[in-house]
Chain A
C-alpha cells in the first residue's frame, strides 16, 4: 500500500508537471465542435482528426494583444512500417512553435529539415531512420517519455506536410478530402501580451476568422487539473498515512505476540551462555529480516498493479500519469523497505528489551511469576 500509494502520487505529480510544461499557451483555437477532442489532446496527448482552414493562424496573428501564434496539424490513423499500432503525425512550424517545440528542443537544437523527423519515446527506429509510406526519414531526436499518446507521435516540420500527404496517397492510405487538400490546420495556439483580456482577443479572432472555431483554455484546464491532483494526492497521502499508522500498529501487535512467544527460547539460550545483547541482536535481526522480506514482497505485488496498469489508473482519474523509470521505482522500493525496516525495529524494540531483560529462570518457569 505504501509503495503503490507513493508510486501513484509520484506518477500523477510527474504527469502533471509534464503536462504543465507541455501546455504553454493561453488560448487554443480548434475547429468548431472539436472542443472535447482538443481537451483530450491536452490531457492525454490523443490527436484528433479535426481541421479548419489553413489560413486561420495568419488571420489572427496580427490582432492586438496577441504576442505569439503557432499552429499544428495532426494526421491520425496513418500506419507506419515502423510500428504495429497507429502512429500520429504532427506537423508544426519549428520557427514559431512554443507549445511542443520547446519540449522537443530539449533534445534537438538544430532546425528540422524536410526529411528529418523527431519521434516520441515509444517509436522504434531502425539505424536512426523511420519508414513512412515507403520513404525513409532520418530521426534526429527522440523525445523523453510523457506518458501520453505523444509518445507514439512523429513530428515533422510543416514544410513536409504536402510531400507526406502525397506519399500517403501514392501508397493508397485512407485520407479524407480535407486531408488531401493539404491546406489545413488542427489547432492554433495563442499567447497573449500582458494586460490584455482573453475575451476581447477572442472576440477579435471571431471578427477576423469567422465563427469557425471553439476556444480551449489550456492553462485554466491545467489549473483545474492541478486542483484535482491536489485532492487526489491528498487522498492518496491520507491513505498512505493511515496505512503507515496501521502498519505500525499491526507490527507492534505481531511483534508483541511473536517475541513474547519466544520468551522461553530466549531464556534457554541465555542459560546456555548467550548474553542479553546477543539475544537482543538476534531478535532485532530476525524482525529486520522479516520486515525487509515482507516489504520487498509487498512492493513487488504493488508494482504488479501500479506499473502495468498505471496508464489506466491515470485514465480512470482523468489525469496525466507518468509512471516511474526502473531506477525511480527501484529507489522507491529501497526507500519503502528502509521505512518499513525502521518501523519494524521501533515497534519491536520495547518487546525485545522486555524479553531479554527477564530473569531467565522466571521465563523458563512461567508459573513462578
Chain B
C-alpha cells in the first residue's frame, strides 16, 4: 500500500502543517513516510504545497508526478494540480475559495466549504483543520485519533487554540464521512 498526496494552497493557509500532520499520523501508526515541501522564493500570499507519501515499504521517490490525492485550498492550486491526480484518486476542493467545480470525472471529488465552517466556529484560521478533517473523513488514510492527538500536540503552547481546532477538524470529518466512497 502506498498513498501519495499533495496539499496545496496560499502561503499562510497552513497546508504545510496539515501535510506534516498526515505524515506524523502515518509514522505514528507504523508506516513509512516522507514530507517534501515546495520551497522557493515564496512568501505569505504566494503558493505553497507539500507532497506527502505514506507507505508500507520505505518511500522511494518523495517526488510525485501523479498523486493518489490532491487537497486544493484555493483556485490556483486546483488549476495546477487537478490534472495530476491519478485516475481513481481523490480530489478535495475548498469550495469557500474555489468557485468552479472539478473538471475531472475519473476521480472522486470531495467538497468542503472550509472557510465558512471555520468562521462559523469562530476560528477563522482553522480552514486547514476543517479541510484535513474532511480529507481524513472521506478517505480514512490515517487514524482519526492520531490526528486529534497531533492537533493537541501542535497547539500545546497555545492551549486555548486546542479545542477550537479539534472542533474544526471534527466538523470537517463529518463533511468528509458524508462523502465517503461506498
| Genuine A/B complex | no
